[in-house]
């Protein structure tokens, strides 16, 4: 397996894992900044969402909560774009090879 195919397989596995997660957008709490919240239409206050992940209140990892929410919301689209760019570059290389213009 080539390095790019191995990379593509790893990316696909990551995207599959992301697809099986609770849908987003995820957000860190505004008051309970160490918790992760997700949308929940059937909650008492849907605009607040529900807690998906609680950090230890005695050791509030605010940056971790914000980072988890950011990665959940932004990483997968970026990875999809990178994978598309990789596949496009591989296709261009293959076309050049067919024409005898690439090693």
SS3 state of residue 62:
helix
- Residue 60: per-residue pLDDT: 62
Q: How far apart are CA 28 and CA 58, in angstroms?
A: 17
Given this model, what pLDDT does residue 1 score? 44
35: left (phi over 0), alpha (psi -120 to 50) or beta: beta
Q: What is the pLDDT of residue 101?
A: 66
- Give yes or no for a contact between 1 and 66, defined as CB atoms under 8 angstroms apart: no
Quote the domain boundaries for residue 46. Answer: 3-99
Number of domains into which the chain is organized: 1
- Which tokens is 37 given? 């919240």
Angle at 15 between CA 9 and CA 75, to 5 degrees: 120
Contact assessment for residue 35 and residue 57, using Cβ atoms and an 8 Å cutoff: no
**The whole model's pTM is what?**
0.64
Gap between the terminal Cα atoms of the chain: 18
In a structure prediction context, what are the per-residue pLDDT tens digits for the chain, which is 103 residues long?
A: 466 778 888 888 888 888 888 888 888 887 777 788 888 877 676 667 788 878 776 766 777 888 888 888 888 888 889 888 988 998 999 899 888 866 6
pLDDT given for residue 11 in this prediction: 86
Q: What local confidence, expressed as pLDDT, does residue 87 receive?
A: 87
């Amino acid at each position: 397996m080539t390095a790019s195919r191995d990379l593509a397989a790893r990316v696909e596995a990551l995207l599959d894992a992301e697809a099986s997660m609770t849908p987003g957008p995820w957000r860190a709490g505004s008051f309970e900044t160490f918790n992760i919240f997700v949308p929940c239409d059937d909650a008492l206050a849907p605009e607040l969402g529900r807690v998906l992940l609680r950090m230890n209140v005695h050791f509030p990892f605010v940056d971790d909560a914000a980072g988890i929410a950011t990665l959940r919301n932004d990483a997968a689209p970026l990875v999809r774009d990178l994978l598309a760019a990789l596949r496009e570059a591989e296709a261009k290389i293959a076309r050049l090879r067919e024409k005898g213009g690439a090693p």
